[in-house]
Amino acid sequence: MSVFVAFEGGEGSGKSTQSKLLYERIIAEGFSSLLLHEPGGTSVGEEVRRILLAERGATGKKSSRSKNSTMNSLTELLLFSSARSELIEKVIKPNLEKDTIIICDRFIASTIAYQGYGRNINLDTVENIINVSTHGIKPDLTILLSVDPDKALDRVNSQLSLLDSVSNPVEKENPRLDVEGSRRFELESINFHKRVFQGYKEMSKDSSWLTIDATKSIDEIHNLIWDKIQMLIR
């Protein structure tokens, strides 16, 4: 039987590091695993990801800089959901029947936190769209790497400040928080990130969630996660 684990948290919470460490540990212990991220993981999903995370429009010209930044919130919700629908049908569903541990770096809780709490889209609407796009498939365990957005954004800023283009004044004003250069969400206001964090805190009251203080060391966090995973698979 498969186990489905989702990693959640705000920007700079260390999800990608921890999901990769967990994947490597599972493989090293002799189990089968699959590491996915959202949005993405299919060819359509990766194209949708580019639209969702780019600040600029398809032309890439300076004059269209604000194009994707001003995307309508409902459009955004539907795009995340369409990428997810592909991932569910093409990857997650077929693997749910196998003896494998599916790890997903972000899943439905990101949509509730970012589009529901962050963008203020009605939560019932968000949940209805999620149900349509996932056919009700939910993770067995959601791991929240919890860190106050003030601290997290500071941390990512200082880690990446060396990568900043010092000659570009826009880069100086908004230090890049994402090495891949897709920063549409990182550039949102601190209040947006605080609403997202609040959403996560509400959802994490559910018994299928494990909340970990993301300011702990990488090893400590990994060990807490591994303890929990062992309980699920043995």
Q: Rank residues 11 and 86 by Cβ distance to ligand TYD and give the closer one.
A: 11
Instruction: Please report whether residue 39 would count as binding ligand TYD according to CB under 6 A.
Output: yes
Question: Does residue 142 bind ligand TYD (CB under 6 A)?
Answer: no
110 binds ligand TYD (CB under 6 A): yes
The site string for ligand TYD over 157-196 (x = CB under 6 A, - otherwise) reads ---------------------x---x--x-----------
Report in angstroms how near the CB of residue 49 gets to ligand TYD at its nearest: 8
* Inter-helix orientation angle 73-87/123-134, to 10°: 20
Q: Name which of 156, 160, 145, 154 is nearest 197 in CA terms.
A: 145
Please state the closest distance from residue 160 (CB atom) to ligand TYD, in A: 12
2 near 102, Cβ under 8 Å? yes
Please pick, from the candidates 8, 11, 55, 86, the single residue that binds ligand TYD as defined by CB under 6 A: 11
Helix (H) or strand (E) holding 157: helix 149-160
CB 15 within 8 A of CB 151: no
Residue 114 interacts with ligand TYD (CB under 6 A)? yes
Most distant CA atoms of the chain, gap in Å: 56
Specify the stretch interacting with ligand TYD by CB under 6 A; choose among 87-95, 110-118, 135-143, 219-227.
110-118
What is each CA distance from 93 to 2, 48, 143, 148, in whole angstroms? 10, 20, 21, 34
Closer by beta carbon to ligand TYD, 16 or else 204: 16
Binding flag, residue 100, ligand TYD (CB under 6 A)? no
User: How far is the first Cα of the chain from the last one, in angstroms, to the nearest whole number?
Assistant: 11
Residue 13: phi and psi, rounded to 5, are -90, -10
Q: Which helix (H) or strand (E) holds 141?
A: strand 141-146
Binding residues for ligand TYD (CB under 6 A): 11, 15-16, 37-39, 53, 80, 106, 110-111, 114-115, 178, 182, 185
